[in-house]
Amino acid sequence: MARIASFHLVRERRGRAALALARLGFDRPRLARTAGLEFWRLLGTGRGDTTGPGADLRRTALFAVWRDESDLDDFLATSPIPRRWKRAEESWHVRLRGIGGHGSWRGVDPLDGLEPGAADGPVAVVTRADVRPRSWRAFGRAGREVDAELHTAAGLLAVVGVGEAPVGRLGTFSLWSSADAVRTFAYSMPRHRQVVEETRAGDWYGEELFARFEPSASTGTWDGRDPLA
């Protein structure tokens, strides 16, 4: 069987921000021992649907790549981590098959060997970058401008900013109505196109990734709804 990826977004109840942050550390050893889990990143998230500066201390995310789908099924059925997710205020989960992209995440290509997906329906997009310290100010300014443009884009279903320690490892997870909607935003939005050129000219990133997936079998809620329903 081919590899499959998954994305999990979890919001803890009010007053439990410290627990959410602690799990970013305490869940690591257990994930490292999880059978069939070939790549994973535990992530903090931004506030609401903004991809600019700021953090939601009660909400965390997990991006994972599995040896095959049965390993993901076993994890969801037997691991204490998803059992705790069920006690959270809300959680949302989706399976991801590869459509295309480029780049790497901590030296790993998460699309390598991934089960191929179809591009004729909704599309999930993961972007992330290691921003060089000398580029933090320029990146922050440009990021706020692109975020404002992003929220005017036709076909955007949902988006969350994500990040990991140390400072400067930032990204997004977004859902779109179609591959055409993704392409229109990427190539037709003027500020986004300009920022892409600026990042290349200024060598802002030490590493970057742009990956597209077919999202399927989503469960749970994200800000009170399933954006793929």
| Alpha-helical segments (H) within the chain | 17-32, 69-78, 80-85, 136-150, 179-188, 190-202
Predicted confidence at residue 138, as pLDDT, reads 86
**Tens digit of each residue's pLDDT (9 = 90 or more) over 133-180:** 999 888 888 878 888 888 999 999 999 999 997 777 999 999 999 999
Residue 56: what pLDDT? Answer: 94
Considering its fold, how many domains does the chain have in total?
Answer: 1
Whether residue 10 lies inside any domain: the answer is yes
Q: How confident is the model at residue 42 (pLDDT cuts 50, 70, 90)?
A: very high
Residue 226 resides in a domain: no
Residue 227 lies in a domain: no
Residue 6 has pLDDT above 90, yes or no: yes
Cβ–Cβ under 8 Å, residues 125 and 195: no
pLDDT band at 77 (very low <50, low <70, confident <90, very high): very high
Packing angle, helices 136-150 and 190-202, rounded to 10:
160
Question: Is 213 contained in some domain?
Answer: yes
Identify the pLDDT of residue 142. 80
Contact 162, 44 (CB under 8 A): yes
pLDDT tens by residue, 104-141: 999 999 999 999 999 999 999 999 999 999 998 888 88
- Distance from C-alpha of 69 to C-alpha of 73, rounded to nearest angstrom: 6
Q: Is residue 78 part of a domain?
A: yes
SS3 187: helix
Residue 197 belongs to a domain: yes
CA neighbours closer than 13 Å in the CB half-sphere of residue 153: 30
pLDDT, the chain, mean: 93
User: Measured on CA atoms in the order 203, 127, 53, 145, is the torsion positive or negative?
Assistant: positive
Here the CATH number for the domain that contains residue 155 is: 3.30.70.100
Please determine, for residue 189, whether its predicted confidence score (pLDDT) is greater than 90. no
Q: What is the mean pLDDT of residues 10-26?
A: 92
Let me know if residue 229 belongs to a domain: no
**pTM (two decimals):** 0.95
- Average of per-residue pLDDT across 76-83: 97
Residue 151's domain comprises: 4-220
pLDDT of residue 192: 76
- Measured distance CA(186)–CA(193) in Å, rounded: 7
Q: How confident is the model at residue 197 (pLDDT cuts 50, 70, 90)?
A: confident
Cα separation, 205 vs 102, whole angstroms: 14
Phi and psi of 63, rounded to 5°? -110, 130
Identify whether 225 is part of a domain.
Answer: no
Residue from 5, 2, 117 nearest 61 by CA? 5
